[in-house]
Structure 1
């Protein structure tokens, strides 16, 4: 598997949680990624999200899972994370048909 694709997947996941994860944790994960240590970066991100009991977007979860599976990281790292409720569009009822007289 291409190391660059794995690192990019983790960066994508990190972008999705950047606003909820502490600045120091984001910076530490980026340092690990910059030094070709994606497994350590993934573990750090997952561990901190879990420790802070933060709910993450599905996209970030899927990217962490994808990268972790390709690096043979223990799946418990991402399986214990909480997903943020997805935003669903509420379907409005279609306008009723008018009766023609």
Structure 2
């Protein structure tokens, strides 16, 4: 996912949000969507990862890999996505 275009980053982040729908409270999801719409994808991803961890959400392997790819692309702290629980069939 290195050197993604702005459109592909946006699409990937939106796909992740759709994949985790219902795993964190609606208000937190709304906040992340608003950050994306405000062209703040890095903050949106940081907040999403933090909320997924804090609410003990479990994501599938594909979603986890997308979060990790985005995290590396944005240069955020690795522990933000590494702390997210993943289904056993990763």
**TM-score tier after normalising by the smaller chain length:** 0.7 to 0.9
- RMSD after superposition: 1.5
TM-score (norm. length: structure 2): 0.88
Q: Which has more radius of gyration?
A: 1
The structural deviation recorded for 1:71 is: 1.0
Aligned residue pairs, count: 87
Deviations 1:15-40 (A, max 9, x none): 11102221011111100101111011
* 4+ aligned runs moved over 3 Å, structure 1: none
TM-score (norm. length: structure 1): 0.79
Structure with greater helix percent: 2
Give, in whole Å, the separation in 2 of the partners of 1:75 and 1:8. Answer: 21
Gaps of 5+ in 2: none
Gaps of 5+ in 1: 87-101
